[in-house]
Amino acid sequence: MKKTNVALIQMSCEPDTQKNLDKAAARIEEAAKNGAELICLPELFRAQYFCQREDHALFATAESIPGPSTERISQIARDNKVVVIASLFERRAPGLYHNTAVTIERDGHIADVYRKMHIPDDPLYYEKFYFTPGDLGFRALESTAGNIGTLVCWDQWYPEGARVTALKGAEILFYPTAIGWHPSEKEEYGEAQYDAWQTTQRAHAISNGVWVCAVNRVGHEQGDVIHEGVSMPGPEGAGLEFWGGSFIADPFGRIIAKASHDKEEILYATLDPALVEVTRQHWPFLRDRRIDAYEGITKRFLL
């Protein structure tokens, strides 16, 4: 029942993939020096959000797991004795790619791999062009820093993913994320969009009695990518303004830490697993589930 010091790295991303890896490495080391034991990076941190267009050239930025990024982060995790969650563009085989989060233990080994299950296809979020849906299912890991589960971005809108991950034993859910505003929509819809994003994840915390840690990127991006000296410009247009706002919610959905919408930050909090037990005792949603009546949940629609 040891408490865990968590750090969420809210960062902006540059076009150059190597610079982003260097920045992430420096932020992990900074968080570790400030006492963090469990550190999470935002979704696809190695590049600007390239899914704003469909471009076959961008598959060249994918990497194997294990690969260059996991090798670098594994060394940092080992040197600083921390657990790190890193979201990567995985090249699994020729023509087969995933949006993948790896958990690297404090001794440097890859302890878990999660492949994003829900893949969006919306204006400037053309992820179905790049990513095959995950085939490893929802997962939980008994890490040396606590019982954790990782889901990725679009997964955060689905209560089923959070529920299954919690039922497998996760007491802390991490959601590495890349979500932002279309600039033309921000004035009218921006506040409501962010509120919905935060509310649905707070609901996961409440209904499952778990900690929820959502970590987003920040800053305006056109989707420009420079990888190994090759420049791949993003599409013309307004781009995306990533709204930051990373946060940590306790098992009753209360926000205990929140980042700004427009600055790079490392968000820190100490999470007590005992609060999971206490919350579930007083709000016994898992006890009162009617598991005999949920068979329809596996159907697309019931009419």
By residue count, the chain amounts to 303
Among 34, 70, 48, CA closest to 266 = 34
**Active-site residue 153, yes or no?**
yes
Indicate the SS3 state at residue 222: coil
Among 156, 184, 171, 129, CA closest to 246 = 156
**Catalytic residue of the set 13, 116, 127, 171:** 116
- Which whole-number Å values give the CA distances from 270 to 35, 132, 133, 170, in the listed order? 10, 35, 33, 17
**Active-site residue 51, yes or no?**
no
d(CA 18, CA 31): 20
What b/e sequence results for 77-113 when a residue is b if at least 16 CB atoms lie within 10 Å of its CB, and e otherwise? beebebbbbbbbbbbeeeeebbbbbbbbbbebebbbb
Tell me the backbone φ, ψ of residue 97, rounded to 5 degrees.
Answer: -130, 150
d(CA 165, CA 3): 20
Cβ neighbour number for residue 60 with a 10 Å cutoff: 13
**Catalytic residue of the set 14, 23, 37, 43:** 43
Residues 6+ apart with CB under 8 A from 98: 90, 92, 115, 116, 131, 132, 134
The sign of the torsion formed by the CA atoms of 195, 239, 179, 124 equals positive
R_g of the chain computed on alpha carbons: 18
Cβ neighbour number for residue 252 with a 10 Å cutoff: 14
**Active-site residue 116, yes or no?**
yes
**Catalytic residue of the set 153, 171, 213, 221:** 153
Catalytic positions, please? 43, 116, 153
